[in-house]
Amino acid sequence: MTGLEAQGLTYSYGAKQALDDVSFSVASGVFCALLGPNGAGKSTLFNLLTRLFVAPDGRITVAGHDLRAAPRAALAELGIVFQQTTLDLDLSVQQNLSYFAALHGLSGRSARQRIDAALDQLDMRERAGEKARALNGGHRRRTEIARALLHDPSVLLLDEPTVGLDAAARASITDYAHALADQGKTILWATHLTDEVRPDDDLIILHRARILGTGTARDIAGDMSLQDRFLLLTGQAA
């Protein structure tokens, strides 16, 4: 089954082409890395996948739901971690999660149980009462991931979730996202860092609005390191 599928996405800001006929699919329960240098079009792609924008052409399906024809069913299957933090810094971790749960129609005991479970999964339970402002970058990210999982989505989109984190927090969050894929979630992980991609991961390389290659990271890397292959493909080799 397909977790996430995009066909023929094209988008431009005036004369500047941000995405040019982008198509890919990510199978259910797979960790797929979307690798691209800064400015490749990753964030635009995320905006389309999350329906912040609607592309004039092309089609997106999330867990089988067409984002254009059935946006509500598709969005309900989507968990999103935006690149920029979207926590309300003046609210506690718990309040941030409750607010989000309510935006998905969850309240009362079922919301509380889900919040506790999500915080437990990310080892954030003891920080539930802390204000988001008091958390470090790693903990803020964990809170956002916990939040993105509250409504039990089948597809999780993460837009450069490790930006600004130290090595330990980065590794831990990358490991966690891989574990989620093993549990059956479809993961699309945008990054420009090749060390976050494992050989068995699916990989999409996006550069200058176009897809340069798709396949497993091992196949794309071939006889060189993924880093070298990526730099070669994107013409940034030293």
Partner 1 sequence: MTAYLTSLRAIVLREALRFVHQRERFIAALVRPLVWLLVFAAGFRAALGLSIIPPYQTYITYETYIVPGLCGMILLFNGMQSSLSLVYDREMGSMKLLLTSPLPRGWLLFCKLLGSTAISILQVYAFLAIAALFDITMPAPGYVTVLPALIVAGLMLGALGLLLSSLIKQLENFAGVMNFVIFPMFFLSSALYPLWKMAESSELLHDICALNPFTHAVELIRFALYVELNPMALLWTLLATSVFAGAALIGYDPARTRIGRRG
Among left, alpha and beta (phi > 0; psi -120 to 50; other), residue 58 is left
- 51 touches partner 1 by CB under 8 A: yes
**Would you give the DSSP letter of residue 8?**
E
Helix (H) or strand (E) holding 173: helix 167-182
Return the residue of 27, 39, 52, 179 that touches partner 1, per CB under 8 A: 52
- 13 touches partner 1 by CB under 8 A: yes
- 107 touches partner 1 by CB under 8 A: yes
Footprint (CB under 8 A) of partner 1, residues 20-49: 43, 47
In whole angstroms, give the CA distance from residue 78 to residue 104. Answer: 11
Q: Tell the burial category of 171 from Cβ atoms under 10 Å away from its Cβ (0-12, 13-18, 19+).
A: middle
- 69 touches partner 1 by CB under 8 A: no
In whole angstroms, give the CA distance from residue 161 to residue 144. Answer: 9
Piece in contact with partner 1 (CB under 8 A), picked from 88-96, 122-130, 161-169, 172-180: 88-96
Q: Are 149 and 79 in contact (CB under 8 A)?
A: yes
Cβ nearer to partner 1, comparing 107 with 236: 107
Minimum separation from the CB atom of position 90 to partner 1 (A) = 5
Minimum separation from the CB atom of position 83 to partner 1 (A) = 6
Return the residue of 25, 37, 73, 228 that touches partner 1, per CB under 8 A: 73
Question: ∠ CA 223-224-225 to the nearest 5 degrees?
Answer: 135
Return the residue of 1, 15, 16, 84 that touches partner 1, per CB under 8 A: 84
Q: Are 68 and 238 in contact (CB under 8 A)?
A: no
Minimum separation from the CB atom of position 167 to partner 1 (A) = 25
Beta-strand relationship, 78-81 and 155-159: parallel
Query: Which residue ranges make up the site for partner 1 (CB under 8 A)?
Result: 13, 43, 47, 50-54, 56, 71-73, 75-76, 78, 80, 82-88, 90-91, 95, 98-100, 102-107
